[in-house]
Amino acid sequence: MDAPVLDVMNIPTVSSYNNAEEVESYQHIVDELSLKIEELEQRMIEVEQFNPTTSKKQLKSSKGSSNGKDKDKEKHIPGLKKQQQEASKREAAAAKRMHDLMRQFGTILSQITRHKWAWPFMQPVDVEGLGLHDYYEVIDKPMDFSTIKNQMEAKDGTGYKNVRQICADVRLVFKNAMKYNEERSNVHVMAKTLLKKFEEKWLQFLPKVIEEEKRREEEGAEAQMNIQLVYEAAHSKMARDISNELHELDTHLEELREMVVQKCRRISVEEKRKLGAALTRLSPEDLGKALDIVAQNNPAFQATAEEVDLDIDAQSESTLWRLKFFVRDALEVQGKSSCSASMGGNNNNKDNPTNNDNTNNNNGNNTINNSNKRKREISNAIAKVVKKKSKRLAS
């Protein structure tokens, strides 16, 4: 049963494939295509990482928080720099409007601080001078109007960023006084009265604050959307470019396959018969791989169907040669596995003359088949490149 299979695998491969330089040239082309596929795979990874959903992070990076690597990538994204510049302009305009609001809020603050009862709250509490030894145990965050004024006038970036921060500290001034002093004390009553007056003025001013906050939110959402659209467009272009290159690579592979097939002689009827018989001897796993080879050149072929009708005569020369090489390699592996299992403990008998004869015979076969081996390596390499490319396209 083994002889016919081995015979069909040992039949010479080509008629005009004897030029070593020509063989090397084909191997060189295959190597170049393999490198191209590796490059495309790396770019596919970059496309996957270059996800438009990261636009929120990129929007933050437009404000100066991106690292050097991100900035290098951003340089190659058309339109991104313009959107970042527009976002920066909107941010600067929003900051100016907020500064104007804080200046307007200063008018309310002046009215409160000019009240006749505001004097206890103008400077930090003199804890030591007044002997208030438990003050810091009761009050977590002391606050007074001089501290608020300094924060409003700060130029080093440590000051208030919006009106609500100032409002919170004004409330804290009065609430600290009401918390530490008894309800019937003068300071408590003064703080409660001024807090009520402040809340009335704050309610009148609040619509302006809400309007500005809503505007900033809308502008931020618009800026984020614009940057996201830029990233989506760049992502789409990268994917489209890779798809075009894969199509071009597919064309080159097909051309190379045809070039190799033209160098090969046609498979004889007898070889087809023996190849069909050899296919039945494959393991289920290898048989599935062989059917996949057929399906690659024949999309209508159902390789995964429960019953498969494989017409050897209907297959192209390229498919037949690929099947031939695959079946030969698969059966060689199966044969070695079976041989190792049957020999058992006899493998260590180095003095067995039969082993020496087998070694000599193998050396002879290696010499005879060396040329065929190189040709098979080229075809297998082509098949590997095609299969690898197909998987990338499918994903």
Strand partners, 264: 14
- Residue 307 belongs to what domain range? 267-336
Residue 1 is assigned to a structural domain of this protein? no
Which of the four pLDDT bands, split at 50, 70 and 90, describes residue 392?
Answer: very low
- Looking at residue 205, its pLDDT comes to 96
Residue 39: per-residue pLDDT: 80
- Report the CATH number at residue 321: 1.20.1270.220
Per-residue pLDDT, 293: 86
Give the count of domains, the chain: 2
Q: Average pLDDT, stretch 239-256?
A: 80
- For residue 387, pLDDT over 60 is answered with no
* Residue tagged 């309610």 (tokens): 203
Query: 217 and 314, same structural domain?
Result: no
Considering the domain architecture, whether residues 84 and 181 belong to the same structural domain is answered as yes
Q: Which residue has the higher pLDDT, 380 or 240?
A: 240
Residues 276 and 211 in one domain: no
Asked if residues 385 and 37 have their Cβ atoms less than 8 Å apart, the reply is yes
Quick: pLDDT tens for 3-42. 344 444 444 444 444 566 766 777 777 778 778 877 877 7
**Within this chain, do residues 227 and 271 fall inside the same structural domain, yes or no?**
no
The pTM assigned to this predicted structure is 0.49
Mean residue pLDDT of the chain comes to: 77
43 part of a folded domain: no
Q: Are 352 and 1 in contact (CB under 8 A)?
A: no
- Give the residue-averaged pLDDT of 337-354: 59
Exposure string over 59-95, b if 16+ CB within 10 A, otherwise e: bebbeeebeeeeeeebeebeebeebbeebeebbeebe
pLDDT for res 347: 52
Helix, strand, coil percentages (3-state) for the chain, rounded to 5, are 80, 0, 20
Cβ atoms within 10 Å, residue 280 = 8
The DSSP annotation for 33-85 comes to: HHHHHHHHHHHHHHHHHS-GGGHHHHHHIIIII--HHHHHHHTTSTTHHHHHH
Residue 278 inside a domain? The answer is: yes
Confidence of residue 138 (pLDDT cuts 50, 70, 90): very high
Domain boundary among 336, 355, 377: 336
Q: Write down how long the chain is.
A: 395
Mean pLDDT of 305-314: 80
Percent share of the chain, pLDDT over 70: 72
Let me know whether 136 and 277 are in one domain.
Answer: no
**Are 197 and 320 members of one domain?**
no
Q: Are residues 215 and 121 in the same domain?
A: yes
